[in-house]
């Protein structure tokens, strides 16, 4: 079994992204300024209305922890340039709103209290800064007549802000740049690492960074590098949207399962409302996913991907020691399965979702009669209660006395099959 490296270790696999800023007041989208005709003047005037009186970082982080979340990634500054911390570099910040509280500080303190990691998101585009326009990049709004695009000046601004973020808010586990600037400047990530030794940096900044960030999809094939996938609870927006099309819990669980089985991390996004709370549907989704994750997480916190049954389209596999885990991100077609060409009985079979122990035996299967060795008894697991679990991803644990020997038998069977072809 080939070893692999996890982004933050085996205990921190599931994170919560938090997209929050002035755009929450529009209840539309985090890129309201780009995607609607609201205009800069009206949008930036929202600075004087931002007052999330019900925001409670301790309660939000504690709730996230209860849902299986082990780290938070906070949008310190999104494309609109509005800053959620007490920055000396611009007045376009939370400290100049009626709220007048350092949100990054409150998240930092809450994460430290609850034992969660804290990662910081920072947008390279900045639609407010007079020097930030970058024609090499995407997600750019044409500059005002009074703006003076000047990337070296803007990069110095970034460095000063990053110094604030990585100096004043305790340990930071990751730096999440957004929107590649298509400018090569390794000095920026060198600064990040000098301020926070051991920090992980994503691949959307000024050099390749440490980890990739597939967004809203599951890449094909195995992960060759450290990976953190990100997805929002809603299809339409990352920030709060009033009439959001929320994903089903089953869809999100399947996405989480696929990413974690490949050895990646998963960052599930929420967008707080204008008052600083999460919507009822967001909380319901997090509770549902958290309840499922608590029951099956042993299949992710330590196990590694394994080539066992690599050709099977109906489930994914991970292993830890002598335990083999079967994951079913797609709806199982039947309440039993034949694990041909495996002809070894496990010591036990457990459905992690419920703790039930389904029946298993070495059986000949009528559907295999035309295949080579079709009359050979193979491992058959049956009477699985999949119909009762149609709303979540089932995970089975098979425990063997010697899983290395089992894997060797499977490899030999595959080679024999290939030689016949």
CB-based burial of residue 141 (10 Å sphere; 0-12 exposed, 13-18 middle, 19+ buried)? middle
> pLDDT at residue 335 above 90?
yes
Q: Give the lowest-confidence range in 88-92, 146-150, 269-273, 309-313.
A: 309-313
Q: Determine contact, residues 341/350, Cβ cutoff 8 Å.
A: no
Nearest alpha-carbon partner for 417 in 319, 366, 364, 341: 341
CA 373 to chain centre: 42
Can you tell me the distance from the alpha carbon of 296 to that of 181, in angstroms, rounded to the nearest whole number? 39
350 - beta bridge partners? 397
3-state secondary structure at position 259: helix
Q: What is the pLDDT of residues 21-39, one digit of tens each?
A: 999 999 999 999 999 999 9
Residue 3 has pLDDT above 60, yes or no: no
Whole-number Å distance between alpha carbons of 176 and 323: 34
pLDDT digits (tens, 9 = 90+) for 235-279: 999 999 999 999 999 999 999 999 999 999 999 999 999 999 999
| Choice among 103-112, 226-235, 322-331, 402-411 with the minimum mean pLDDT | 402-411
Q: Is 71 helix (H, G, I), strand (E, B) or coil?
A: strand
Question: When comparing pLDDT for 407 and 310, which is higher?
Answer: 407
Sign of CA dihedral 91, 97, 102, 107: negative
Residue 125: closest CA among 112, 136, 111, 109: 136
Q: Which pLDDT belongs to residue 308?
A: 82
Listing DSSP states for 116-130 in one string gives -EEEEEEES--SSST
CA–CA distances in Å: residue 39 to residues 27, 45, 47: 16, 10, 14
**Dihedral of the alpha carbons of 4, 190, 160, 213, in degrees to the nearest 10:** -30
Q: What is the mean pLDDT of the chain?
A: 95
DSSP SS3 for 199 = coil
Q: What pLDDT score was predicted for residue 411?
A: 87
Helix (H, G, I), strand (E, B) or coil at 26: helix
Note the pTM of the prediction, 2 decimals. 0.96
Q: What is the pLDDT of residue 1?
A: 39
Looking at domain 306-420, its CATH superfamily turns out to be Golgi alpha-mannosidase II (2.60.40.1180)
C-alpha to C-alpha distance for 342 and 165, rounded to whole angstroms: 53
Judged against a pLDDT cut of 70, whether residue 18 lies above it is answered with yes
User: Span 14-299: which CATH code?
Assistant: 3.20.20.80
DSSP 279-318: PHHHHHHHHHHHHHHHHHGGGTSS-EE--TTTT-SS-EEE
Q: Which of 138-142, 212-216, 299-303, 379-383 has the lowest mean pLDDT?
A: 299-303
> What pLDDT score does 374 carry?
72
| Percent of the residues in the chain that have a pLDDT greater than 90, as a whole number | 89
CB-CB contact of 332 with 384 (8 Å): yes
pLDDT at 2: 45
Mean per-residue pLDDT, 110-127: 98
CA pair distance 262, 418, nearest whole angstrom:
25
Q: Counting Cβ atoms within 10 Å, is residue 54 exposed (0-12), middle (13-18) or buried (19+)?
A: exposed
Mean pLDDT of 393-416: 91
- How many residues comprise the chain? 421
Find the mean pLDDT for residues 347-368. 96
CA 255 to chain centre: 9
The dihedral of CA 50, 54, 58, 60: what is its sign? Answer: negative
Q: How far apart are CA 96 and CA 216, in angstroms?
A: 34
The label of the residue with tokens 């590098």 reads 225
Q: Mapping DSSP to helix (H, G, I), strand (E, B) and coil, where does residue 229 land?
A: strand
Domain ranges of the chain: 14-299, 306-420
Report how far apart, in Å, the C-alpha atoms of 367 and of each of 64, 254, 261, 312, 413 are: 46, 28, 29, 16, 19
What tokens does 175 get? 């730096």
């Amino acid at each position: 079994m080939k070893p692999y490296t996890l982004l933050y270790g085996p205990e921190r696999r599931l994170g919560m992204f938090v997209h929050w800023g002035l755009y929450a007041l529009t209840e539309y989208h985090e890129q309201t300024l780009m995607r609607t005709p609201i205009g800069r003047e009206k949008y930036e005037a929202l600075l004087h209305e931002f007052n999330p009186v019900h925001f409670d970082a301790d309660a939000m982080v504690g709730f996230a922890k209860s849902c299986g979340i082990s780290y938070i990634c906070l949008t310190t500054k999104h494309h609109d340039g509005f800053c959620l911390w007490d920055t000396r570099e611009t007045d376009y910040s939370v400290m100049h709103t009626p709220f007048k509280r350092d949100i990054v500080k409150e998240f930092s303190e809450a994460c430290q209290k609850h034992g969660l990691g804290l990662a910081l998101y920072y947008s390279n585009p900045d639609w407010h800064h007079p020097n930030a326009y970058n024609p090499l990049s995407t997600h750019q709004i044409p500059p005002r007549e009074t703006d003076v695009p000047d990337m070296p000046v803007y990069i110095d601004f970034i460095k000063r802000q990053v110094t604030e973020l990585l100096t004043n808010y305790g340990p930071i586990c990751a730096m999440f740049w957004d929107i590649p600037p298509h400018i090569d400047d390794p000095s920026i990530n060198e600064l990040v690492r000098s301020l926070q030794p051991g920090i992980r940096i994503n691949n959307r900044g000024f050099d390749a960074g440490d980890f990739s960030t597939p967004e809203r999809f599951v890449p094909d094939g195995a992960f060759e590098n450290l990976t953190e996938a990100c997805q929002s609870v809603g299809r339409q927006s990352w920030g709060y949207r009033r009439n959001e099309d929320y994903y089903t819990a089953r869809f999100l669980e399947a996405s989480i399962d696929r990413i974690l089985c490949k050895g990646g991390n998963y960052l599930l996004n929420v967008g707080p409302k204008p008052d600083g709370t999460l919507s009822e549907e967001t909380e319901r989704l997090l509770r549902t996913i958290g309840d499922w994750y608590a029951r099956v997480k042993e299949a992710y916190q330590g196990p590694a991907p394994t080539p066992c049954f690599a050709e099977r389209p109906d489930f994914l596999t991970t292993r830890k020691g002598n335990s083999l885990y079967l994951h079913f991100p797609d709806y199982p077609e039947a309440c039993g399965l034949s694990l041909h060409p495996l002809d070894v009985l496990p010591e036990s079979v457990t459905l992690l979702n419920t703790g039930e122990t389904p029946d298993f035996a070495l059986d000949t299967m009528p559907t295999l009669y035309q295949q080579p060795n079709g009359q050979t008894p193979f491992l058959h697991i049956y009477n699985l209660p999949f119909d009762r679990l149609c709303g979540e991803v089932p995970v089975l644990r098979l425990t063997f006395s010697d899983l290395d020997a089992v894997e060797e038998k499977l490899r030999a069977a595959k080679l024999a099959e290939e030689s016949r072809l």
